[in-house]
């Protein structure tokens, strides 16, 4: 009887998993994206940096290559009390560049995380009508600003796109490239669902926002404590305003970030993400449940003789569905080169998805940039 129940459960989970992939694939269809012929309004790029000395040179160089009139561009670099060479690197780079500004953030609101405090300070020093956000470990493409502006129709308040963790010509380690494929998969789910009318999340290192929308929702201060401020911002816009949000696979908006270096960093990163998933919409929770059950139940079925054929068949269907989805997304952003690592990605994805639901049960503290945040109390503690 138990084996029969397990067989029915496996068939149902595989059916649901394949169908949710088909639904997401529908979201990748070529839509007639309503782009607009834009003027060139004043824009502000906001970057918070904390101990980013090793990443800043590449980031600053990419910002300096932005194809936008310098008299309408300001790039606000906020030093979030770094204790490495972050300040000197920024100040040296921008000394002859009028559109760059350096600010040391000394203000601290304990109701906000460190990064959000710095971002808020950057926005307060900015003047642009459109605010663009990325991170100090990111490289932005030259036409990043102008491409984003083309999506801001009259009703659009926020636009977001895809971030990857390497470039096609980067001879990085497999570990980093597998993570890049993982980001493409997860962000592909978010963009695809949104293009089907179900926005789930956006990535904080690659989005653009109208200043008037930011002011309408009361800014980050109104959102309160969150280690996933990008998700909180998106949710506030969707639930409290009439502005629409655009999600796009446009290859000219793809930002390149950096992978985490080890399993410990990966654990803390996914733990931060898990805190945001607790507040995601019903469809997002459903995807998490289906994915978690599929990646837990099918490997477990291989330990029961009567379930091995069904389990193997289910793994083949899920693997094929994942491959087809990634083939579509990587084609849209010109990163099909990563598909050669699909077998490693699938093993990696099965391993961490199986324990994803257990991450927050271990403890309620999140580490980020030398600060520990207690998710129950909102308290912050500096660590060495």
Note whether 263 and 317 are same-domain residues: no
Cβ atoms 102, 77 nearer than 8 A: yes
Contacts of 298 (CB under 8 A, 6+ apart): 10, 13, 14, 311, 314, 315, 318
Residue-wise pLDDT for 66-101, tens only, equals 999 999 999 999 998 888 999 999 999 999 899 999
Any domain includes 130: yes
Note whether 284 and 271 are same-domain residues: no
DSSP 209: E
Any domain includes 182: yes
Last residue of a domain, one of 251, 276, 301: 276
Any domain includes 85: yes
Note whether 61 and 163 are same-domain residues: yes
Note whether 231 and 337 are same-domain residues: no
Note whether 57 and 203 are same-domain residues: yes
- Taking CA atoms, 206 is separated from 131, 135, 137, in Å, by 11, 8, 12
DSSP 201: -
Any domain includes 371: no
- Domain count for the chain: 2
What is the pLDDT, as a whole number, of residue 380?
A: 45
239: domain CATH number is 3.90.550.10
Last residue of a domain, one of 224, 247, 276: 276
What is the pLDDT, as a whole number, of residue 95?
A: 92
Any domain includes 379: no
Any domain includes 369: no
Any domain includes 380: no
What is the pLDDT, as a whole number, of residue 288?
A: 74
Domain that holds residue 117: 43-276
What is the pLDDT, as a whole number, of residue 379?
A: 46
Q: Is the pTM of this model over 0.75?
A: yes
Note whether 152 and 82 are same-domain residues: yes
Note whether 60 and 11 are same-domain residues: no
Helix, coil or strand: residue 368? strand
Segments of the chain scoring below 50 in pLDDT:
227, 368, 373-384
Any domain includes 250: yes
Angle at 203 between CA 162 and CA 285, to 5 degrees: 105
Note whether 17 and 84 are same-domain residues: no
What is the pLDDT, as a whole number, of residue 339?
A: 93
Note whether 182 and 323 are same-domain residues: no
Note whether 260 and 159 are same-domain residues: yes
What is the pLDDT, as a whole number, of residue 294?
A: 84
C-alpha–C-alpha distance, residues 129 and 306, integer Å? 63
Q: Name the E strands within the chain.
A: 43-49, 73-79, 100-104, 130-133, 156-160, 163-164, 207-210, 244-247, 255-256, 365-368, 371-374, 380-382
Note whether 168 and 260 are same-domain residues: yes
What is the pLDDT, as a whole number, of residue 33?
A: 58
Note whether 228 and 320 are same-domain residues: no
What is the pLDDT, as a whole number, of residue 355?
A: 64
Last residue of a domain, one of 255, 276, 297: 276
């Amino acid at each position: 009887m138990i084996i029969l129940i397990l067989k029915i459960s496996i068939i149902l989970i595989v059916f649901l998993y394949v169908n949710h992939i088909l639904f997401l694939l529908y979201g990748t269809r070529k839509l007639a994206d309503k782009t607009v012929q834009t003027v060139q309004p004043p824009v502000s790029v906001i970057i918070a940096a904390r101990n980013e000395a090793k990443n800043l040179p590449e980031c600053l160089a990419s910002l300096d290559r932005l194809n936008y009139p310098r008299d309408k561009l300001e790039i606000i670099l906020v030093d979030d009390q770094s204790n490495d060479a972050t300040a000197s690197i920024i100040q040296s780079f921008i000394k002859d560049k009028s559109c760059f500004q350096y600010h040391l953030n000394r203000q601290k609101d304990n109701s906000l995380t460190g990064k959000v405090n710095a971002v808020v300070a950057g926005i307060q020093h900015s003047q642009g009508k459109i605010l663009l956000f990325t991170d100090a470990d990111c490289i932005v493409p030259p036409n990043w600003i102008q491409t984003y502006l083309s999506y801001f129709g009259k009703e659009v308040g926020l636009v977001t796109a895809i971030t990857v963790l390497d470039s096609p010509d980067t001879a990085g380690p497999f570990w980093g490239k597998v993570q890049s494929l993982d980001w493409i998969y997860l962000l592909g789910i978010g963009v695809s669902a949104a293009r089907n009318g179900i926005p789930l999340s956006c990535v904080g290192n690659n989005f653009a926002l109208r200043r008037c929308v930011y002011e309408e929702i009361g800014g980050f201060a109104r959102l309160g404590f969150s280690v996933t401020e990008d998700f909180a911002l998106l949710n506030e816009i969707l639930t409290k305003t009439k502005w629409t949000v655009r999600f796009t696979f446009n290859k000219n908006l793809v930002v390149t970030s950096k992978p985490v270096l080890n399993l410990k960093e990966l654990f803390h990163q996914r733990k931060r993400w898990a805190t945001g998933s607790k507040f995601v919409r019903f469809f997002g929770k459903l995807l998490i449940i289906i994915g978690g059950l599929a990646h837990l139940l099918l490997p477990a079925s291989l330990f029961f003789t009567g379930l091995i054929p069904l389990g193997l068949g289910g793994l083949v269907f899920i693997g094929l569905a994942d491959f087809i989805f990634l083939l579509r997304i990587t084609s849209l952003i010109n990163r099909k080169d990563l598909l050669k690592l699909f077998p490693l990605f699938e093993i990696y994805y099965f391993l961490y998805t199986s324990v994803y639901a257990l991450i927050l049960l271990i403890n309620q503290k999140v580490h980020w940039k030398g600060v520990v945040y207690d998710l129950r109390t909102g308290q912050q503690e500096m660590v060495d």
